[in-house]
Amino acid sequence: MTILWDTEVPAFGLRCRPSGHKSWIVRYRERGMERFKTLGSVPKMTARQARREALRILQEVALDGLPQKPKERPGKGLTFEEFAAEFIGLRKGGWKPSTTARNEHALRRDILPFFGSIAVAAGQVSDVARWRDAMAHEPAMFNRAVPVLSAMFQQAELLGYRKRGSNPCKGIARYKRKLLERYLSPAEYRALAAVLREGEREYPAAVQLIRLLIYTGARVGEIAGLEWEWVKPPRIFLPDSKTGAKVVYLNAPAAAILDDLRGENATGLIFPSRRRPSLPYNVNPAWMDLRTRAGLSNVRLHDLRHSFASVAIRDGIPLTLISKLLGHALPETTARYAHLADDVVSEAAARVCASIAGKMEPTA
């Protein structure tokens, strides 16, 4: 075996074996030991390429053990505007289509106008705080957008664009908003029922859909997008909902409505759009008219769900069962109705107290 050493880089050479095979090598010392490293064969690597690789290895060996400037993180100068498409592409596979659309909207409308030109690696708590103050006039929009921004920082950390544990959204308080709580009174239920009876010819699909909302406490999207294949009396098995797969329990009035609607070959959507049958029926325009006729102009369709819970509590049904009826994923979601139970107990206590006080009154 013969080694021909380079005159420019003495530690770089060409090794020639008796078989005729030739390869580039580099010689160096590591921890006092002489070592040889093969860089590549002659047919696959030119002398210039091999010499450059040899110099790189010799430099690394010479600097071994010495303090070095830390390598820059990938994407150090990447801005939020540039990172947005990558973030959505990585995350949308784990989101529902509706969630993807909502998050993309928050990104375009609320996040990028403020953070677009800021480097992902440079975002600080002060930036998030200033953004929060700038959105003080739209607290609801800020509360919806800040989880998206937090997820962006989290994704940037996972990709090495930011230091781990540096998410500046941590500790940023959301705006406190008063939850809208509107419950129908018995008189309002009667007024709505009368209007629904009168509007059956004008709005046949809307009336039946609204009645199902009243009787089941389900969400509007769950009933509007309901398909016949999911109806298995006495239950409806929803493959997906806001909280995942869900069971809706059918009582007698709800089951009767579905029986009236079911045809001989009932398949697909129960409430299809008249113009585009592949899409769910939009009940909102009809509801706006019907609620005005009933004198309930401040009542939303979602308030029918709240009212369902209110009636259940007044009938003495425990919160744990109400949670199951409404399909809440978290017990704290149902806990918002706890004060209604307190009102029922207070009323009972007042009646008992009045009865006792009556018995303690002196007789004539």
- The residue-averaged pLDDT of 125-137 equals 95
Does the reported pTM lie above 0.85?
no
What's the topology of domain 186-345? Answer: hpI Integrase; Chain A (1.10.443)
Beta strands in 194-254 (DSSP E): 231-232, 235-238, 246-249
What is the tens place of the pLDDT at every residue in 258-271?
999 997 778 899 99
pLDDT at position 29: 85
Task: Please tell me the predicted confidence (pLDDT) of residue 206.
Answer: 97
Q: Where are the domains of the chain?
A: 2-63, 80-158, 186-345
Specify whether the CB–CB gap between 28 and 57 falls below 8 A. Answer: yes
What CATH number labels 2-63?
3.30.160.390
* pLDDT at residue 284 in the model: 96
Cis geometry, peptide bond prior to residue 280 (ω within 30 degrees of 0): no
Q: Which helix (H) or strand (E) holds 33?
A: strand 33-41
Q: Quick check: 311 and 189 in contact, CB under 8 A?
A: no
Q: Residue range 48-74: average pLDDT?
A: 74
Per-residue pLDDT tens over the stretch 286-344: 999 999 999 999 999 999 998 998 888 888 888 788 888 887 765 666 666 666 655 65
Q: How confident is the model at residue 179 (pLDDT cuts 50, 70, 90)?
A: low
Q: Which two tokens stand for residue 162?
A: 């930011």
